[in-house]
Structure 1
Amino acid sequence: MNKLIVIVSLMAIVQMSPAQSLKTVSYMDGTQELNGLVTANAGRQLPGVLILPAWKGVDNEARTAALELEKEGYIAFIADIYGKGNIPEDNASAAKLSGSYKSDYKAYQHRIALALEQLEEQGALPDKIAVIGYCFGGTGALEAARAGFDVQGVVSIHGGLGKDKSRPNAPIETKVLVEHPAEDQSVSQEDYDSLVKELRDGNADWQIIIYANSGHTFTNPESHEYNEVMAQRAWKHTLMFLEEILK
């Protein structure tokens, strides 16, 4: 019986999900509770990476990225943009909720700023911080650059590229990497061209990499659009960028 208990316990350890290697960090925006996730190396005074998840909130792609970044020597913190009790259950609710933050970009920037504060509180070196984001989070990474947050760089991974035309282009002081799938039907040519102009007008240090034969969610293994080869290339490009700006 004791042997059986030991075997079952070992199996439980081996089969732990990635989320069990991450610690929940609760923080507040007024009366709204937010619950982010941080890697186990928190508190060690290391370069830090803020991860902004896709439109359904904290997901497996964000969790996996955090654990991989930990292996590379970064403290990773996954932001909770929506807050407790506001997690979308389907695409329709995700589109509505993420859309509200795209419209009220200052509210989105505020939630990103709160998450950056948490990343620093978890031990990330203040002068060695980057932001990466997927999909809706990729839009957020660009918003971090537009807001002028004190980060060394941002990576937008299949993110929305456009902003409201009423917003003027402004200087962009942080480095920008955009990883854009060639067949992304959610991004118009107009939005793409507008971003290029915005980066040029802002005199930014920027780079856009376009991935062939790839749809919108090409980096997500759970998506029907997943492109393993291009996803691996994109991740390597992300790590190269982070190595350059943070180490």
Structure 2
Amino acid sequence: MKTKFLILALLMQSTFAVFSQPKTVEYKDGNQILSGLSILPAKQLKNNPGVLILPAWMGIQDHEKEVSYKLADLGYQSFIADIYGVDQRPNNSKEAGAKAGYFKKNIKEYQTRIQLAMEQLVKQGANPDEIVVIGYCFGGTGALEAARANMKVKGIVSFHGGLGRDETRIIENIIPKVLILHGADDKYVPKEEVEKFQDEMRTSGADWQMVYYANAVHSFANKSAGSDNSKGAAYNEKAEKRSWEAMLNFLKEVL
């Protein structure tokens, strides 16, 4: 009987001990204190690749943590960025909309927060030459901005993120590879915005891909988004699984 319990314990340990305990990391943007989350895999892949995770508009939530744990299970080191700051996190969707809206209008500040988080990912041990940025919703917008700014990353992945760009901004060549995972019925990203984004990618000379998922709306990869497409944001299990596989293939390609 003791032998059976020992075997069971070892099996559980091998199943769940795939990453170190999440580590809270404080850093600063000027006087603003930021607090991100670093997750190290128990066994890293060759070359210590890193994935920077940019959260949706509510900030670091269970969804972003779940993503980081799944990446750790595959050997990727990750860091979840804090875009708002420890004393600036939204308490509800109204506050989140206002705060996310501020950074969308002040892109340079958003890009700075992304860059600072990337520096923390490297400080925690990730290879600075082997980094990909991924983001969800508002974070997907940020991932695209990392590409537009030509940050030192191999590629970016945007899950149901905004694609808009201030048309007064000059379109420059984009070096990182770009993967856009998009709900085919996402009403938060109008057709005109999609078309302008695609024109931008062509003009920029980017190596880009855009994948549409049927019957999927905004937030299709987030289990907490509910299941009612009529609300504009809802979870779609099939789209989530397909988009996750698309991202993994992308990571294998660029890292």
Task: State the match for 1:219 in structure 2.
Answer: 221
Deviation at 1:43, TM superposition (A): 11
Equivalent residues of 1:54, 1:134 under 8 A apart:
yes
Tell me whether 1:35 sits opposite 2:35 in the alignment: yes
Q: 1:35 to 1:42 in 2, by over 3 A?
A: farther
> Percent of aligned pairs with the same residue?
48
Q: 1:227 to 1:219 in 2, by over 3 A?
A: same
Equivalent residues of 1:43, 1:124 under 8 A apart:
no
Task: State the match for 1:48 in structure 2.
Answer: 50
Equivalent residues of 2:40, 2:76 under 8 A apart:
no
Equivalent residues of 2:43, 2:75 under 8 A apart:
no
Equivalent residues of 1:42, 1:122 under 8 A apart:
no
Deviation string for 1:38-63 (max 9, x for gaps)? Answer: 11339966100000000010011111
Map 1:102-181 onto structure 2 (within 5 A).
102-181=104-183
Map 1:2-13 onto structure 2 (within 5 A).
none
Equivalent residues of 1:42, 1:123 under 8 A apart:
no
Q: Take 2:81 and 2:179, find their aligned partners in 1: how far apart are those partners?
A: 20
One-letter amino acid matched to 1:24:
T
Equivalent residues of 1:58, 1:80 under 8 A apart:
yes
User: How many residues get paired?
Assistant: 233
Equivalent residues of 1:48, 1:129 under 8 A apart:
yes
Tell me whether 1:22 sits opposite 2:22 in the alignment: yes
Q: Take 2:21 and 2:56, find their aligned partners in 1: how far apart are those partners?
A: 20
Q: Take 2:253 and 2:35, find their aligned partners in 1: how far apart are those partners?
A: 30
Aligned counterpart for 1:231 among listed residues 213, 237, 240: 240
Aligned counterpart for 1:205 among listed residues 207, 213, 216: 207
Equivalent residues of 1:34, 1:82 under 8 A apart:
yes
Output the aligned Cα RMSD: 2.2
Aligned partner of residue 205 in structure 2, secondary structure:
coil
Q: Take 1:88 and 1:164, find their aligned partners in 2: how far apart are those partners?
A: 25
Aligned partner of residue 190 in structure 1, secondary structure:
helix
Deviation at 1:113, TM superposition (A): 0.4
Deviation at 1:71, TM superposition (A): 1.0
Task: State the match for 1:88 in structure 2.
Answer: 90
Deviation string for 1:34-93 (max 9, x for gaps)? Answer: 000011339966100000000010011111110111111110000000001111111110
Deviation string for 1:149-202 (max 9, x for gaps)? Answer: 010000010000001111121110110000000111110111101110111001
Equivalent residues of 1:133, 1:156 under 8 A apart:
yes
Q: Take 2:223 and 2:238, find their aligned partners in 1: how far apart are those partners?
A: 11
Equivalent residues of 2:42, 2:75 under 8 A apart:
no
Q: Take 2:238 and 2:182, find their aligned partners in 1: how far apart are those partners?
A: 14
Instruction: Normalising by structure 1, report the TM-score.
Output: 0.90
Aligned partner of residue 126 in structure 1, secondary structure:
coil
